[in-house]
Structure 1
């Protein structure tokens, strides 16, 4: 029985570690960027000549793009539901293990064996459920990222008609571009266009 108890305790620790992984995924994956940049949002900078190179402030765009903000809230809600489910199942299993430990001395060997097998099966299902939920969350996040990219690419292709920009770069603090002249910033008009498009697409 002592070996069984040790195994169960280790498994419970692993199950709880899944919750911490989920927490840090939330901190790392859902966050938009190192800071909020809104100083150029809602206003145009100097007119940019067509045919050149322009940039979009990625941080400002994601901070203020309503579609992305809504998706972020949905993702966080999904994470919280998963975290709550895993915590609830883990706590219930922990209580049942402690109950078994208190009752074990008065049980027959067969009774102990049956209950230990039941508890082990439950912990295995809990671990499988944790892996399944986290895998689904990763898939959901990858799909959302792809949808966001497709939306931006489609919009920018249409936005560039008549302007003929050679490159539309994404500027982000800590990224590969160390300096960009504000006169090349098209974040404001692009953001307004994206939000208008999203607003019109909603039922």
Structure 2
């Protein structure tokens, strides 16, 4: 009757940075480069997801949520298993009627525990999916705005499914974008608005 709880594994799967392609964006404006070719830069999306503070906070939040759910379910299951052992131990001494009644009660509790586990998993999946979609949407909007203001023709993304096999030095804008996004997130940690790209002051 032992149950296996998969919440920690589920949390890791939900929070991992598998969907690198969602973080890429292209700018709506163009800028003529010195060579006359298209102005293309790229972002290491895996690094962005690992070091962007809002993404780190997201991971911590749902890891804690997963561990809390797992701990509660394991506590319920331990009590249930202890009651099953008590039934087996005292069934003969307390009589058939008591044993049958107790067995029926435990059967209902087992069903309740199974339903509780399903409800927790559903809640975890739904809440994490909503917040993850919101996070990805804000990141894409930030990068799109950043790319447009900088005048880039394209902002590509790298990661496990890399779309950039070679790039000349200076094409990687990951650190700059990461710095601006973290600054914007820290400055607006109490706001739900999408962080804006800081505009540089022209000298």
Both proteins in one fold, TM over 0.5? yes
| 1:64 positional shift | 1.2
| Larger RCO, structure (CA 8 Å, separation 6 or more) | 1
Distance 1:31 1:116 in 2: 42
The whole-number CA distance in structure 2 between the counterparts of 1:134 and 1:185 is 39
Task: Measure, in 2, the Cα distance between the counterparts of 1:180 and 1:130.
Answer: 48
Secondary structure in 1 matching 2:155: strand
Moved beyond 4 Å, runs of 4+: none
What are the equivalent positions in structure 2 for 1:139-150 lying under 5 Å apart?
Answer: 139-150=126-137
d(CA) in 2 for partners of 1:124, 1:189: 53
Q: How many residues align?
A: 173
Q: How many angstroms apart in 1 are the aligned matches of 2:94 and 2:87?
A: 10
Match in the other structure for 1:152: 139
Residue 119 of structure 1 corresponds to: 106
**Can you give the 5+ residue segments of structure 1 that lack an aligned partner in the other structure?**
1-8, 34-48
- Is structure 2 residue 93 aligned with structure 1 residue 106? yes
TM-score (norm 2): 0.77
Q: Does the CA contact (< 8 Å) of 2:156 and 2:163 recur in 1? A: no
* Structure 1 Cα separation of the partners of residues 89 and 52 of structure 2: 56
Cα distance in 2 for residues equivalent to 1:152 and 1:164: 18
Distance in 1 (CA, whole Å) between partners of 2:12 and 2:184 is 29
User: Partner of 1:160: helix, strand, or coil?
Assistant: helix
- Gap change, CA 1:56 and 1:129, over 3 Å in 2: same
Q: Which has the higher helix share?
A: 1
| 2:12 equivalent to 1:24 | no
In structure 1, distance between residues paired with 2:161 and 2:134: 22
TM-score (norm 1): 0.77
1:96 aligns with 2:87: no
1:77-92, aligned counterparts within 5 Å? 77-92=64-79
Counterpart mapping for 1:46-195 below 5 A: 49=33, 52-172=39-159, 174-177=160-163, 179-181=165-167, 182-195=169-182
Give the whole-Å Cα distance in 1 for the aligned partners of 2:98 and 2:111.
20
Unaligned segments of structure 2, at least 5 residues: 19-32, 191-203
TM-superposition CA deviations, 1:40-62 (whole Å, max 9, x none): xxxxxxxxx59533211012111
